[in-house]
Structure 1
């Protein structure tokens, strides 16, 4: 029997299309779903994207719910819960991803699990945010909804106009998330897991002159061999979220490893370019095994 598995993502994007290609090769069915076109009819119990009723599929792989993280993207995840209620398996489950898209929700879950993280202050008070910056010496101000370091601001405690820049940051971010900047020696790590099982680790090596290591800011991928202790840290960090495929962002500091966040959708490109691993095919094989049970 042909299994109809759709890919929720961004049409034309490499990782979305790679998943759709792998599904088509195994099932003969190919469907990329753009949630910006979703129409939820609660009376009829349908969730349509174009001509496809998501509630009638065998499963959905959730690669990207929106091009940019925002509170609006949470509403798209809520809509997917209708498909789940009708019996459609979603990988990763909508509720699991909901707990990750808001940076504060992710941070609170990691801290509750006793995962080491940079010192962090969260406040709506600009004066308290400035005081945190003074304590930390240098800090990164992070939007609660963002990826690839977009919208982040680095400040040193001796910045002359720090108060004014914090006030400007708060205009776009009413809740101010302040995280101490640590010495990361120019790289951080992406530790990849599939259904809770460790796959590989890649490094993101920052471009000279950039304070962050994201590929968006000119960083590059490189292979990395972690210790068993570091793998166990990554495993503990991702465990509370119940994700199908994810990447744990880890960095080595002079005081030991710290975790920044757990990815809602995982790093397919990093797994391929940094580890030589075709994560899309592995995810598809796992999903087909699950929906065939």
Structure 2
């Protein structure tokens, strides 16, 4: 057992956060789950405080989840962590890397510029151009720029009701992120990487009756064995971000595989249920190997 003090930033009480904190405690004897909503940044004193603990005095921080719901406020929380990083605290993954993934458009731009195949996508604030996109795609998926697990996403089909549906979406999402709906044959893939190296792949299979495959909407995890070309695609997608632990969302279509997004944090439950592996233990060992004694 090492005496390194490593905090886990996440959602107290959530399974993946607590599992990671347990794995850290089993190896270090130190357990600290950090809720960023209770962290105080004091630039006058140069401290980042959580319940009496200056996070700048820890040996490391693992970011399992920065917020329950993605929003621009999550970006502010990551900015706060930069103080601890500047004081020499190792952070996994680095705030700068996560920042590029919280905003869906930032992730999409990085993937596109890296030459990663993605669904046809239109981004606009113009309702008329959004209507044109729906007409071109036939059926389009409208996605909030800040969301996880398909929350806030909706399908809009070409037809008489499209204009009103677009207006409803735009009321809460003035910048509209619009993708062509693809036939996913009821499943998509989560390809997992640890420290930039391929770990495993699981499939998310639709629970039936929904257009997406998320576990939130009744999907289930099952094992999947990708071929080397598919692994190479996943590796190419995650490489620009430099994350310590991530999942690349991939779909197999009639025109070949495409990437939807790269996760800022990765999913522990999919690794457990779909791959039979302990992601919390693997990530903790990865972190401990990279923090100086």
TM-score range, shorter chain: over 0.9
Alignment of 1:209-224 (within 5 A): 209-224=209-224
Distance 1:207 1:23 in 2: 34
What CA RMSD, in Å, does the superposition of the two structures yield over aligned residues?
A: 0.7
Q: C-alpha separation between the residues in 1 aligned to 2:145 and 2:39?
A: 25
How many residues align? The count is 292
Q: Could you list the per-position Cα deviations for residues 168-195 of structure 1 after superposition, in whole angstroms to 9, with x for gaps in the alignment? A: 1111001000000001000000000000
C-alpha contact 2:36 2:66 (8 A) present in aligned 1: yes
The corresponding residue for 2:257 is 257
Residue number in structure 1 paired with 2:194? 194
Q: Deviations over 1:198-220 (max 9, x none)?
A: 00000000011110000000000
Post-superposition offset of 1:155: 1.2
- The aligned counterpart of 1:38 is 39
Q: Distance in 2 between matches of 1:200 and 1:52?
A: 36
- Aligned residue number for residue 167 of structure 1: 167
1:70 alignment counterpart: 71
Cα offsets for 1:252-277 (capped at 9, x unmatched): 00000000000000011100000001
Counterparts of 2:64 and 2:53, CA distance in 1: 18
TM-score (norm 2): 0.99
Correspondence list, 1:68-107, <5 A: 68-107=69-108
Give 1:292 shift.
Answer: 2.6
Deviates more, 1:47-56 or 1:141-150: 47-56
Q: Distance in 1 between matches of 2:245 and 2:52?
A: 28
Match of 1:25 in 2: 26
User: What's the CA shift string for 1:61-86, capped at 9, x where partnerless?
Assistant: 00000000000110000000011000
The CA distance in 2 between the partners of 1:166 and 1:275, in whole Å, is: 39
- The 5 A counterparts of 1:221-260 are 221-260=221-260
1:117 is aligned to 2:118: yes
Aligned counterpart, 2:156 = 155
Give, in whole Å, the separation in 2 of the partners of 1:9 and 1:205. Answer: 27
Question: What is the alpha-carbon distance in structure 2 between the residues aligned to residue 258 and residue 84 of structure 1?
Answer: 35
**Whole-Å separation in 1 of the counterparts to 2:225 and 2:197:** 16
Unpaired stretches in structure 1, ≥5 consecutive residues: none
Contact 2:206 2:220 (8 Å CA) reproduced: yes
Kept after mapping to 1: 8 A contact 2:156/2:166: no
Query: Is the 8 Å Cα contact of residues 131 and 162 (structure 2) preserved in structure 1?
Result: yes
Unaligned runs of 5+ in 2: none
Residue matched to 2:6: 5
Q: Please give the alpha-carbon distance, in whole angstroms, between the structure 2 residues aligned to 1:280 and 1:229.
A: 27
Displacement, 1:165?
1.0
Alignment of 1:178 onto 2:172: no
Q: Which residue pairs with 2:271 in the alignment?
A: 271
Q: Identify the residue that residue 51 of structure 2 maps to in structure 1.
A: 50
